[in-house]
Chains A and B, each alone.
Chain A
Amino acid sequence: KAGVTQTPRYLIKTRGQQVTLSCSPISGHRSVSWYQQTPGQGLQFLFEYFSETQRNKGNFPGRFSGRQFSNSRSEMNVSTLELGDSALYLCASSLQGRDTQYFGPGTRLTVL
C-alpha cells in the first residue's frame, strides 16, 4: 500500500498570506490528523477528521482550519500567516482514529 502523501513538500509564503496544504491518507484509512512540528514546541496536535467531520481540535487559533473530503483526503488551511507559523506540518492517517497513526513526510512551510 502506498503511504501517506503530502503536497507540496516545501512552501514559502510571506506574512499575511494564506496557505492550503494537502494530505492523501493510506487507502482504507478514514481518520486524518494534522500536527505542527517546530524546534521549540515539538509536535503539537492541530485537529482530527473522520468521515468528513472534525472530531478533535487542538489548542490553535481559528486561523488554522481544515476539512476532509468524501474520499478521506484532507486539506488544512492557515490564513493571515505569521512568522511563527513556520513549521513542518505533518499529516497522519489511521483506520478509525484510535489506532496506529501513520505519518506522511510533511510539508515544510516557511513564512518570510
Chain B
Amino acid sequence: QQQVKQSPQSLIVQKGGISIINCAYENTAFDYFPWYQQFPGKGPALLIAIRPDVSEKKEGRFTISFNKSAKQFSLHIMDSQPGDSATYFCAASMGYALNFGKGTSLLVTP
C-alpha cells in the first residue's frame, strides 16, 4: 500500500514558470517530509524538508507548503529553469524509513 501519493506523474513547464507537485499521506504519525531531486544516473539528493509544526518553508526558488489538517504537502518551484528538469520525489517518515511517492518527471522547456 502506497503510503504517500504523488501527483502529477509528469509535468511540462515553460522556463520562468511555476512548477507545482502535490503529495498526500494517510499516516498522521509522519513527522518529517522531505523532497528529493534525482537526475538520470544519480541518486536522489535532498532538496528541502519540512516538519509539521510549520506550514511553509522556502529555500531559494523552492517552497514547501504543508497542510496538516488535509494531510497534504506540495513543492513549488518558482522561475523554473531547464536545469530543474529531473524527477522529484516527496517522502514522509516517522522514524528511520523514508516512504516515497512514485515521483514526478519534470521537464522545463526553454
List A residues at the B interface (Cβ < 8 Å). 4, 31, 33, 35, 42-45, 48, 50, 55-56, 58, 90, 92, 97-98, 100-106
* Residue in A56, A58, A100, A106 whose beta carbon sits within 8 Å of that of B49 in the complex: A100
Contacts of B91 in A (CB 8 A): 43
B101 near A45 (CB under 8 angstroms)? no
Least CB distance from A14 to B in Å reads 24
Which chain B residues lie closer than 8 Å to A92 at the CB level?
Answer: 43, 98
Q: Are A42 and B102 in contact (CB under 8 A)?
A: yes
Nearest A-chain residue to B101, judged by Cβ: A42
Interface centre among B34, B91, B97, B100, by most chain A C-beta atoms within 10 angstroms, is: B97
Is there contact, CB below 8 Å, between A45 and B103? no
Q: Given A42-B102, A100-B34, is A105 in contact with B96 using a C-beta cutoff of 8 Å? A: no
| Interfacial chain B residues near A55, Cβ < 8 Å | 96
With contacts A90-B43, A102-B46, A105-B41 taken as known, whether A33 is within 8 angstroms of B89 at the C-beta atoms is no
* 8 Å CB interface, B52-110 against A: 89, 91, 93, 95-103
Chain B residues within 8 Å of chain A by Cβ, number: 22
Which residues of chain B have a CB within 8 Å of any CB of chain A? Answer: 32, 34, 36, 41-46, 49, 89, 91, 93, 95-103
Across the interface, A105 reaches (CB within 8 A) one of B43, B99, B100, B101, namely: B43
Q: Could you say which of B32, B42, B45, B100 has the most chain A C-beta atoms within 10 Å of its C-beta?
A: B100
A97 touches B100 (CB 8 A): no
What separation, in Å, do the CA atoms of A10 and B36 have in the docked complex? 23
Q: How near does chain A come to B96, taking the closest CB pair, in angstroms?
A: 4
Give the complex CA separation of A58 and B100 in angstroms.
Answer: 13
A-B contact pairs, 23 of them (CB 8 A): A33-B98, A43-B44, A43-B91, A43-B98, A45-B97, A48-B96, A50-B96, A55-B96, A56-B96, A56-B97, A58-B97, A90-B43, A98-B95, A100-B49, A101-B34, A101-B46, A101-B98, A102-B46, A103-B44, A103-B45, A104-B43, A105-B43, A106-B43
